[in-house]
Amino acid sequence: MDWRSQVYRPALVVQPERVKKNFNRMQEKALSSGVVFRPHFKTHQSAFVGEWFKSRGLEHITVSSVRMALYFASHGWKDITIAFPVNLREIEDIRDLSKRVQLNLLLLSGEAAEELNSRLDRKVGIWIKVDVGYGRTGIPWNEEDRIADLARTVDALPNLEFRGLLTHAGQTYHMHDREERAALFTQITEGLNRLRNHVLASGPKSCLLSVGDTPGTTAVPDFKGVDEVRPGNFVYFDAQQWHLGSCEEEDIAAAVACPVVAVHPQRSEIVVYGGAVHLSAQAEPHPRHAGVSMYGYAAACTPDGWDRIDPDSYIRSVSQEHGVARVSSELLERVKVGDLLCVIPVHSCLAVDLLDTAITTDSQLFSLDFS
């Protein structure tokens, strides 16, 4: 059965062989580097996709929320890190998770550590979130004494087990030079190792290092110097990662199949049922058209997935449900109302989070609703 016959509203379309190839490549790099591979499941958000990785021996996973942790725990995952500062208002769910899985949480303060410890009756792993220059959250990595003091506090509390230092170098998403990203990865690794030595000198007997961002982990040949890697976007990739050079076009494994609802030949545009609530409102500068923003590339859907990317066919604007694609003359001639247009999103993680249905190119339907 052609997968396209089963799509009636915006849905994620996934090429399984590309996903598995992307996963295998990153897993093999982690294994050959001797580090724990703990991919971030917020990209695919699917127990169905997760089974592909479980069959490859994966045991450790990262998620972005307590709700997501509960979902994957209910599907048999036993070692879960919630890579988001602990939300004490979800303590009852955290207590529940701590009884079912090896749960690892992020902390930034001694006050939060003591409050968490007082409200748990099972031991959980604790990572200290360190800011290595991204500026989103975390303790700045030049505040060595503050980090060491927190590590010592966590290490002394009975319901908390100090794991180490965790970071996300989100600034790599703005670096278009692969060598620059690789150099930053090395700089961060070296800096974290110096920080680890400072922490160990203050009392804790162990301090692991966990890093994770797709642009950084794809830029380096190995992960020597850290103990764990947590990339996520690499399973699907997207237009942004292609622009950065984190992947080849053939590595992009997911797109959003959008029904065509109007064609405007006079202005070389196609309107799709697929707007900001499906693709997200995240835009990316078009690499070939100065001053133009794009919300994804538009391509004809095919039985095997979608056509090669033509940079002249892209989503130029989104409103809530509408997406307006500026397209090449060739694509304009091929597509008619009632067809599907595949959109390679700017950021696949956001598109997945907004959609509720997915289908593989071999016609396996699966849900993206993990509530």
In this predicted model, what pLDDT tens digit does every residue of 74-133 receive, in sequence order? 999 999 999 999 999 999 999 999 999 999 999 999 999 999 999 999 999 999 999 999
Q: What is the pLDDT of residues 271-302, one digit of tens each?
A: 999 999 999 999 999 999 999 999 999 999 99
Return phi, psi of residue 322, to 5°. -90, 145
* Rounded distance between C-alpha atoms, residue 132 and residue 115, angstroms: 26
What pLDDT score does 192 carry? 98
What pLDDT score does 370 carry? 77
In CATH, the number for domain 16-237 is: 3.20.20.10
Q: What is the pLDDT of residues 144-171, one digit of tens each?
A: 999 999 999 999 999 999 999 999 999 9
What pLDDT score does 155 carry? 97
Query: CATH 3.20.20.10 region(s) of the chain?
Result: 16-237
Q: What is the pLDDT of residues 186-200, one digit of tens each?
A: 999 999 999 999 999
- Which residues make Cβ contacts (< 8 Å) with residue 44, sequence separation at least 6? 19, 50, 235, 236, 352
End-to-end CA distance of the chain: 29
Predicted TM-score of the model (pTM): 0.96
Architecture (CATH level 2) of domain 3-10+248-367: Beta Barrel (2.40)
Query: CATH 2.40.37.20 region(s) of the chain?
Result: 3-10+248-367
